[in-house]
Amino acid sequence: MGGEAGSEQPPVRPDLAATRAFFAPRATGWEERFPDDGPAFAAAVEELGPPRGGVVVDAACGTGRALPLLRRAVGLSGTVIGVDVTPEMLAEAVRRGRHSEAALVLGDVSHLPFRGASVDAVLAAGLLPHLANPRAGLDELARLTCPGGRLALFHPIGREALAARHGGLVEVDDIRAEPAIRAALSRSGWGTELVDDGADRYLVIAVRSSNCG
């Protein structure tokens, strides 16, 4: 079988391999490392405001911490999908029973297996720093979101605190800085509603333009 044409799997992109290498050994016990993040996730989901009965995607869902919150927001008639590129993170989500709250998809957020304009809301927690091309990621999230749909870019601590946690400083060209993220979202077809780049959290709320062209 190994010698048949087309049997070889395509190589994993370096950025995806690096993301998996970072998160795979940390999946078990990930939530215990950050036990106080729950209220911040709940507030972000509330401000995202997924519609009852709607379709919401947790892009880079990790262990699925937000999935029960998203399920409560859209109700039993809604659809919740969690996407992550690291198998071990999704396995941890299953171990915690999050597969009862949402469909779990192993996938690359830059190339999602969803048709265009099929999603009402997207939560992306901690996503942009792990994308080799954050602007292309925003384009992809815009592609799958229907006009008027909402996006939350979120992290439960501020950018400076997060950089310090990793032993560094905030990069001067960080796309998450307010002028940069507003411009990047606009180019991708999003209108920015909120940028909370504070000490305690990072939250951007954007709305998909009705002009999908």
In angstroms, the Cα distances linking 105 to 60, 69, 79, 132 are 10, 18, 13, 20
Copy the structure tokens of residue 109: 């957020």
Query: What's the pLDDT score for residue 164?
Result: 76
Label each residue of 68-121 as H, E or C: HHHHHHHCCCCEEEEEECCHHHHHHHHHCCHHHCCEEEECCCCCCCCCCCCEEE
**Sign for the pseudo-dihedral over CA of 61, 62, 63, 66:** negative
Query: What's the pLDDT score for residue 3?
Result: 35
In tens digits, the chain (213 residues) has pLDDT values of 333 333 343 345 668 899 999 999 999 999 999 999 999 999 999 999 999 999 999 999 999 999 999 999 999 999 999 999 999 999 999 999 999 999 999 999 999 999 999 999 999 999 998 899 999 999 999 999 999 999 999 999 988 877 777 677 677 789 999 999 999 999 999 999 999 999 899 999 999 997 543
Query: What's the pLDDT score for residue 173?
Result: 84
Query: What's the pLDDT score for residue 7?
Result: 36
Query: What's the pLDDT score for residue 9?
Result: 38
Query: What's the pLDDT score for residue 2?
Result: 32
Strands 145-155 and 190-197: unpaired
Closest CA to 82 of 42, 127, 46: 127
Q: Which long-range contacts (CB under 8 A, 24 or more apart) does 37-42 make?
A: 37/65, 37/156, 38/65, 40/154, 40/156, 40/157, 40/200, 40/201, 41/65, 41/66, 41/69, 41/125, 41/154, 41/156, 42/69
0.95 exceeded by pTM: no
Query: Domain residues of the chain, as ranges?
Result: 18-27+36-208
With beta carbons less than 8 A apart as the criterion, state whether 124 and 141 touch. yes
Query: What's the pLDDT score for residue 185?
Result: 98
Query: 18-27+36-208, superfamily in CATH?
Result: Vaccinia Virus protein VP39 (3.40.50.150)
